[in-house]
Chains A and B, each alone.
Chain A
């Protein structure tokens, strides 16, 4: 099929500079932050308004090409990779803030706005947008919505779905529609709830009504340093078991801390095997009391040392260090894959031992930093070979062992990064055929032709990666 007429039509809609078709313009859109898969789109379009998005969708669908929505491409599950080709619609130009309402604590923003830019804009109002993924300096609100992103502070505040009240969406036929509203509870179905986390398979999110929170009076951050991962995990479980819910409760292992120290002065110890990064917020009177109780628990659980962030700068340093942890792994190995799994918080120590064992057994280095407070783990697999080498089978096997171990203790195969391409074949590990069929019917109601981000989320029956078969393909869910 010649694309020339479509290109001309798209150029007429978005302008020549933003309907991309030359090889050097397309190739950079063949990948997101999932390093081990790439597929070139046929075209890439960057609309500037909802109206343009709608016209683009109509034009592309008339030719029957698939559409892949894309934000900043920081997704770790390959959600924005156009596996079947087609047209990538990148929302990155749509960065306007339409309305900030400090009274109702809501804002209406466009999907391409970068998460951290929103929070910076809210600073003068003393407000903030709570979801704070490690990628917040680059990831878009649309991408946060599509993947239902979490972050360290989601322990107390909840994930993206708790902070989105309404969405403007362009459906697969080009219809523009609003779901939800500024009101906290809408009559009728909670369609906003369904759209959040739909990974671009229901339509293109163009605007979001987000809920804002007021900054708390006081904040304290501490780093409790441990000699073993086991001890750190036990301490995290003990804090949770005591009934305290800190704003954030993270664990970072020694390998990751040392990697971060190489590029950043984050203030992490060089000689520890694990550390708990804990933050509490609240009233000026209550925070010191809470932090004292937490320190006592950490000591009782064998902390070698506890350091508290004395200044705002120290605190920023620790968080920057935590958020740079994934990137810093680039210093340790040529390739890194960040897995995203969950385990009940009471099983942290046990599951971390199993993760280490899986890595040792399959000879894959694993670095860990994770949201311990809600049991959302991120084992990072490090390796030197390319994804098309036979050795990659060991990466697949390690991934599957880890997911299986999580399921076995009552956890899940994804916490916050979504299924995308990376996890889709495993949906059946957690859900019965009937469950999956029901989900598909919901998808069909939005997008009967399967035109939006096809082959994501649902199993395709093809090997998980290239020609490498799943080790546990027969596993399946036996619920």
Chain B
């Protein structure tokens, strides 16, 4: 595979200072320059100036990256590495060995953009899990395939489908919002979507659930399928109303991706402006609720919780204080910070399936950090993080509940 790398202008803002190195999870594990943000930027730069062939080795280095964007937080020069990685991966195509690539590409092109097909997949997964086949598979599958099978969280009893297109506010209306139901959230965490909507409505939000919405396209963008991601973004721009106070999502990855629609569709004259508009309205539910203020006083529960910053919330959207402020509003709940709460847990979209060794090393570190807090709940408001942490809790036997922020707020009657 030898391709040419176009010049990616963002690369020029890197001044090679190296301040990002030690903040990058893959550099911390390997201590190799090629596994660092600066090294990856250098590879891209060298390739686009013809000083380096784009071999499969280069692709491997660029796909060992978690796309966690911790380097953006660290970078004094404001290099938006997320955009650099997306542009480079679009040239490289999806990651993995040929068979994996084909599978990933198939899923990204033919499943993710189609809610109907996703729903069918959900039915298959559910049948597989409930029928006992899953348990069997875990025993019979070759070792190499056992891990992905174990990673798969239990699918919700049903795929989340909204009961109506508009759900009225409960009590005095305070805001009108639109809500992205999301693919992973609908498939694996339908109850959390329900909790989120209850919570929003109790806090005076009228919620619009556009029928025609699609998955946000984040996985496609991160895995070298930008064209299909653009199609999904266009569909959402068409589907969502903009006469709302905010477009909400309870998945950090989706929020980060949708806040970038303006950039993603920046070259599309028909969509550019509407996409910009769309992006400025996007909020994480935690971010939004913290600004709106909780209306009801929550019930008290005595417990210690710890908070895992989802990468795409903390590094991608700069949302750190708001979820913590909401936790602080829960009486009896003590927040005990873990070491490096904003370091990636190794989930990173489909990374945990494709790079099991790196993913496991990060997960092991994360589990230790969680265990050390003595918390009984770890809050991680993003489906990818929740799946990974639930897998980690089972595998490392850490006695904590993995919850979404919306879960705790809804349970407390906030």
Contact = CB atoms under 8 A, between A and B. Distances in A.
A90 B27 CA distance: 13
A35 interface: yes
B23 interface: yes
A28 B13 contact: no
A264 B34 CA distance: 27
B76 interface: yes
Given A22-B57, A27-B52, A28-B42, A331 B18 contact: no
A406 B10 CA distance: 37
In this complex, the member of B12, B58, B77 whose beta carbon has the largest number of chain A beta carbons within 10 angstroms is B77
B43 A326 contact: no
A370 interface: no
A310 B319 CA distance: 24
A317 B26 CA distance: 27
Interface in B322-369: none
A22 B53 CA distance: 11
Interface string A322-354: 011111111100111000000000000000000
Given A93-B31, A327-B17, A137 B22 contact: yes
A389 to B, nearest CB: 15
B385 interface: no
Nearest to A92: B31
A31 interface: yes
A329 B20 contact: no
Contact of A24 (B12, B14, B43): B43
A410 interface: no
Contacts of B143: none
A479 interface: no
Interface in B33-57: 33-34, 38-39, 42-43, 46, 51-53, 55, 57
A29 interface: yes
B13 A23 contact: no
Contact of B18 (A138, A260, A262, A325): A138
Contacts of A24: 34, 43, 52, 55, 57-58, 61
B19 to A, nearest CB: 5
A27 B34 CA distance: 9
A326 B76 contact: yes
B18 A328 contact: no
Nearest to A336: B15
A263 B78 contact: yes
Contacts of A334: 12
A324 B79 CA distance: 13
A116 interface: yes
B164 interface: no
Taking residues whose C-beta sits less than 8 angstroms from the other chain, chain B's interface range is: 35 or more
A101 B278 CA distance: 57
Interface residues of A, number: 45
A31 B55 contact: no
A79 to B, nearest CB: 13
Contacts of B46: 27
Contacts of A198: none
Nearest to A263: B78
B78 A330 contact: yes
A72 interface: yes
Contacts of B13: 330-331
A28 B21 CA distance: 13
A276 interface: no
B76 A328 contact: yes
Contacts of A324: 19, 76
A81 to B, nearest CB: 11
In this complex, the member of B21, B31, B34 whose beta carbon has the largest number of chain A beta carbons within 10 angstroms is B31
Contacts of A20: 32
Contacts of A328: 76-78
Contact of A327 (B12, B19, B33, B42): B19
B8 interface: no
A122 to B, nearest CB: 15
A119 interface: no
A334 B10 CA distance: 11
A263 B72 CA distance: 10
Interface string A115-156: 011000000000000000001011100000000000000000
B31 A23 contact: no
Contacts of B39: 28
A411 interface: no
Contacts of A28: 33-34, 38-39, 42-43
The 8 A-B pairs of least Cβ separation, nearest first, read A327-B76, A330-B77, A324-B76, A92-B31, A330-B15, A28-B39, A74-B18, A28-B33
6 contacts: A24-B52, A24-B57, A35-B15, A327-B19, A327-B77, A328-B76
